[in-house]
Amino acid sequence: MGSENEGIVFVGRKPAINYVMAATLQINRGVKKIVLKARGRAISRAVDVAEITRLKYFPGKIRISDIRTGTEEIINPDGSRRDISVIEIELTQE
Amino acid sequence: MGSENEGIVFVGRKPAINYVMAATLQINRGVKKIVLKARGRAISRAVDVAEITRLKYFPGKIRISDIRTGTEEIINPDGSRRDISVIEIELTQE
């Protein structure tokens, strides 16, 4: 079906409502599946974005269809490495 | 069968490794399914606990079998209410 039917929202350090608005905009344009992506401490915020979008903005219309976690390796400016957790939350229009 | 086969670890504000140890202890005692529960900002830490337990302590032996999110209402001491996101991450022995 092409790119119109899937959207990605990267959740970072801004307030959750900013990302809720980004997801809402895409859903209202007809995008059927939105993937919220976050890592590290922004993971909690991504869950907030999913819950607020689902319950307050599209009650009964959007559901969380999948949640996946993983681990990525970050290379710091000094060359050291550390692991960071990542999450992907899939929102789908019913 | 019975309670020995399911354990719960509440993930709060302590370092992730504390909760990894709590989960590891239960797994080593033969508990087949561990549910990590967290809310608010501890959600990111619960994902860290799941990823560290899975990849570093039980590689190939433990998998994330389910991730559920939800919203709970908190009543503050002054009587006001606010919503908080919650997560449950299910770890299962292969």
The residues in A 27-66 lying below 8 A from B, measured between CB atoms, are 40-44, 47-48, 50-51, 55, 64
Q: How far is A26 from chain B (nearest CA, A)?
A: 22
Give me the residues of chain A with pLDDT under 50, please. 1-3
Q: Is residue B9 within 8 Å of B62, Cβ to Cβ?
A: no
pLDDT in tens, B35-79: 999 999 999 999 999 999 999 999 999 999 999 999 999 999 999
Q: What pLDDT is recorded for position A1?
A: 45
ipTM of the complex: 0.91
Distance from the Cα of A68 to chain B's closest Cα (Å) equals 8
Nearest to B32 by CA among B60, B59, B63, B10: B63
Amino acid type, A46: A
* pLDDT for position B1: 45
Which 8-state DSSP code applies to residue A60? T
3-state SS assignment for residue A78: coil
- DSSP for B65-84? EEEEEEEEEEE-TTS-EEEE
Enter the pTM of the model. 0.92
- Of the residues A49, A51, A89, the best mutation for testing chain B's interface (the one with the most B CB atoms within 10 Å of its CB) is A51
Token readout for A76 is 């710091």
**CA–CA separation, B67 vs B54, rounded Å?**
14
For A6-93, the fitting CATH number among 3.30.110.20, 3.40.50.970, 3.40.50.2300, 2.40.50.100 is 3.30.110.20
Cβ–Cβ below 8 Å for B69 and A64: yes
> Domain residues of chain B, as ranges?
6-93
Residue B54's nearest CA partner among A69, A37, A89 is: A69
